[in-house]
Chains A and B, each alone.
Chain A
Amino acid sequence: MSTKHTKAADRFIANKAQETWHNQTLHFVRDKRDKVAMQLPEWEELRDTAHQIKMHTITHLDQYLEEFSTQAEANGVRVHWAKDAEEHNRIVYTILHSHHVKKLVKSKSMLTEECHLNPYLIERGIQVVESDLGERILQLMDQAPSHIVMPAIHLKRQEVGKLFEEKLQTEKDNSDPTYLTRAARAHLREEFLTADAAMTGANFGVAATGDIVVCTNEGNADMGTSLSPLHIVSMGMEKLVPDLKSLAVFTRLLARSATGQPVTAYTSHYRKPREGGEMHLVIVDNGRSDTLANSEHIQTLKCIRCGACMNTCPVYRRSGGYSYTYFIPGPIGINLGMLRSPEEYSDNVSACSLCYSCNNVCPVKIDLADQIYRWRQKLDSFGKADPMKKIMSVGMEFMFKRPTLFRAGLKMAPMLNYMPRPFVYNGLNDWGKGRELPRFASSSFASLWQKGKVTGAKQKHTDHE
């Protein structure tokens, strides 16, 4: 039962202090989310409506894509279409190349991570600067995000202090977050002022107006795009909402779900290019149209990337983002990874206790846990079922179909309580690893029932008679 996830999680939990901090910090964010959600009596109404708007939009996506792109073009935005990651990267590079861009500042975009845009551009001689503080820290460390909203949540301040000492010449052993943030502000201000182009993702695209809506707390998307003459937006095509009236619902849900704030500091609406500048929009499919045809997993297309499912997930909180093999971790990442390639990312489906907490916090009500359960049922068809579990399943099926054998086995079970430890806790018993097995009762429920010793139930039985 050892998957890549469990092995990586072993490494993460080896540092007990870090694991505890990670778990508690993310649960604190979850608590904040609960508090701000409960301040709104209409919270569940909002979630229901958001779910319905998204289901409507993705099942009319052809119409909304036409409307959105027509509107954006009427606003002076140049619209490009990318079937896959390769085409997306090529389009972005072509735009940058034709404008002789040497330095590009980016605000956070999970889509460009999905497409591996940065290495593509860097190989072709373009300097790429991530401007979200967390993303910039990771870029300087040559690491990937471990959370989609709090990308550097796995790092301690001392690690950031040490990194800045080396890269930004900050004071030795000063790891005060305010001091480090100010140093990053000065460093990135210089990058903003010297960049030739700015790139953002999109939280929402508004079909009726052509607006690209980007939500940040730092204001980094706005700094980049307000200085540079060239703005490129990279947007997954499922990000559309029909109109501003629909958008209102999502602006109320996003930050409350993500970080427990009533809203992000900036909710920016980009409608037209800057005066004398250019704005380009790349609409990306990269597998999303296939998900539309997959009725068991279509709901992943509703995702607004808030990360609430990660913050609440007991497995994510205690194993960290790097334990997952797909670049998006947690419940939504498990599902998106399987949609990308079940053969490659099936190690993650075990990273779930089916507690369903993710379903309950998701602002657009994605059936996250149900989907993970469905993937597990299909593991064998991908050739990814655990061989030990398969043997166990065959054995259990054999036994459960034969009541006499089952009862005989049950009678003998208490003997396990008296077996020497190595007979019970060994390599063959995965359930005995890292935990104690419960003691078998001396008498089974079935035998107690037959002897009339299950009193509550017996009483009911008599009443009925």
Chain B
Amino acid sequence: MSSKAEIIARVKQHIKEKHDMPTIEINAIQYADKIAQFKSILQTTGGEAIELQPDENLNELIRAHFTEAKNIASNLPEISLATINPDETADPHSLNQIDLAIVRGEIGVAENACVWVPQLMKERVICFIAEYLVILLNKQDIVNNMHEAYAQLNFHNAAFGVFISGPSKTADIEQALVVGAHGAKGLLVVLV
């Protein structure tokens, strides 16, 4: 008998009393101003959210925030300041020197400042390896909580997807918070 068959047989044999699946109907938190809540929580994580104003140019806005960024990776057609298209790299290791990556997020979550980023690029490593990360998010796509987020989650048949909330961080040395452990040292969410 294979290990799988043995394990499943043991599990089956050992279950005594079966418990029903509950109906998941959480009376979950709602926010009067989801955008304000999202911004405020993102700030506590060390990130920042700004709204693109009608008279502002997206590329100029990003450039103004990251004046020193040289190697900029993005596969988004509207990002003209990109210097590298991660879809055209043969080896993800070559993306190590990226200063800034710009990706699109699909859902924002007001309760915890998560942004759903499905892997709509060949090399997902740009979300982690870049020194700084920018996520573009439609402000209409901010929901109240994780229940709402998962209810409308689209995986796009991708290999991977991630909820990102703020920059990479650690508190492993004496519980002192340090932003920028392995991943991005800063996160800017541009609400469009």
B169 interface contact, C-beta 8 A: yes
Chain B positions within 8 Å of A81 at CB level: 2-4, 7
A325 interface contact, C-beta 8 A: no
Cross-chain contact of A40 among B29, B150, B158, B182 (Cβ < 8 A): B29
Tell whether, in the assembled complex, residue B16 and residue A181 are in contact, meaning their CB atoms are under 8 Å apart.
no
Q: How large is the interface on A (under 10, 10 to 19, 20 to 34, 35 or more residues)?
A: 35 or more
Cross-chain contact of A242 among B21, B153, B162 (Cβ < 8 A): B21
Given A192-B182, A220-B181, A269-B160, the answer on whether A289 and B11 have CB atoms closer than 8 Å is yes
Q: Which residue, of A46, A80, A267, A293, has the highest number of chain B Cβ atoms within 10 A?
A: A267
Measured between C-beta atoms, what is the minimum distance from A197 to chain B in Å?
Answer: 14
Cross-chain contact of B181 among A155, A156, A218, A249 (Cβ < 8 A): A218
Cross-chain contact of A226 among B22, B123, B163, B166 (Cβ < 8 A): B123
B99 interface contact, C-beta 8 A: no
Given A217-B181, A248-B146, A264-B165, the answer on whether A151 and B112 have CB atoms closer than 8 Å is no
Tell whether, in the assembled complex, residue A285 and residue B10 are in contact, meaning their CB atoms are under 8 Å apart.
yes
Q: Could you say which of B67-75, B76-84, B172-180 contacts chain A?
A: B172-180
Tell whether, in the assembled complex, residue A25 and residue B168 are in contact, meaning their CB atoms are under 8 Å apart.
no
Tell whether, in the assembled complex, residue A265 and residue B153 are in contact, meaning their CB atoms are under 8 Å apart.
no
Q: Which residue, of B18, B27, B151, B170, has the highest number of chain A Cβ atoms within 10 A?
A: B170
Chain A positions within 8 Å of B165 at CB level: 262-267
Q: Mark out the residues of chain A between 385 and 409 whose CB falls within 8 Å of any chain B CB in the assembled complex.
A: none
Query: Is chain B's interface secondary structure helix, strand, loop, or mixed overall?
Result: loop
Tell whether, in the assembled complex, residue B172 and residue A132 are in contact, meaning their CB atoms are under 8 Å apart.
yes
A170 interface contact, C-beta 8 A: no
A52 interface contact, C-beta 8 A: yes
Tell whether, in the assembled complex, residue B15 and residue A62 are in contact, meaning their CB atoms are under 8 Å apart.
yes
- Tally of contact residues, B, Cβ under 8 A: 73
Cα A272 to Cα B158 with chains together (Å): 8
Cα A252 to Cα B182 with chains together (Å): 24
Chain A positions within 8 Å of B162 at CB level: 222, 266-269
Chain B positions within 8 Å of A222 at CB level: 124-125, 127-128, 162, 183
B105 interface contact, C-beta 8 A: no
Tell whether, in the assembled complex, residue B7 and residue A237 are in contact, meaning their CB atoms are under 8 Å apart.
yes
Chain A positions within 8 Å of B13 at CB level: 293
Cα A156 to Cα B175 with chains together (Å): 10
A-B contact count (CB 8 A): 251
Tell whether, in the assembled complex, residue A244 and residue B150 are in contact, meaning their CB atoms are under 8 Å apart.
yes
Cα A65 to Cα B18 with chains together (Å): 16
Residue of A nearest to B129 (CB): A223
Cross-chain contact of A181 among B3, B20, B96, B180 (Cβ < 8 A): B180
Tell whether, in the assembled complex, residue B114 and residue A267 are in contact, meaning their CB atoms are under 8 Å apart.
yes
Residue of A nearest to B18 (CB): A59
Chain A positions within 8 Å of B18 at CB level: 59-60
Cα A285 to Cα B4 with chains together (Å): 10
Chain A positions within 8 Å of B122 at CB level: 275
A78 interface contact, C-beta 8 A: no
B188 interface contact, C-beta 8 A: no
Q: Mark out the residues of chain A between 274 and 320 whose CB falls within 8 Å of any chain B CB in the assembled complex.
A: 274-275, 283, 285, 289-290, 292-293, 295
Measured between C-beta atoms, what is the minimum distance from B138 to chain A in Å?
Answer: 20
Tell whether, in the assembled complex, residue B128 and residue A226 are in contact, meaning their CB atoms are under 8 Å apart.
yes
Tell whether, in the assembled complex, residue B112 and residue A219 are in contact, meaning their CB atoms are under 8 Å apart.
no
Cα A246 to Cα B10 with chains together (Å): 25
List 28 A-B pairs, Cβ < 8 Å: A25-B175, A41-B27, A42-B26, A45-B27, A49-B26, A62-B15, A66-B8, A79-B4, A80-B3, A133-B172, A133-B181, A150-B171, A151-B172, A181-B173, A209-B155, A227-B93, A245-B150, A246-B24, A248-B150, A252-B145, A262-B112, A263-B113, A265-B45, A266-B165, A267-B114, A269-B155, A275-B122, A289-B11
Apart from A137-B173, A248-B146, A267-B165, list 6 A-B contacts with CB within 8 A: A49-B26, A81-B2, A178-B176, A193-B96, A251-B163, A265-B45
The 6 A-B residue pairs with the shortest CB-CB distance, nearest first, are A219-B183, A134-B172, A218-B181, A262-B112, A293-B14, A226-B125
Give residues in A with beta carbon < 8 Å to B: 25, 28-29, 39-42, 45-46, 49, 52-53, 55-56, 59-62, 65-66, 69, 79-83, 87, 131-134, 137, 150-153, 155-157, 160, 177-178, 180-182, 184-185, 188-189, 192-193, 209, 217-220, 222-223, 226-227, 237, 242, 244-249, 251-252, 259, 261-275, 283, 285, 289-290, 292-293, 295
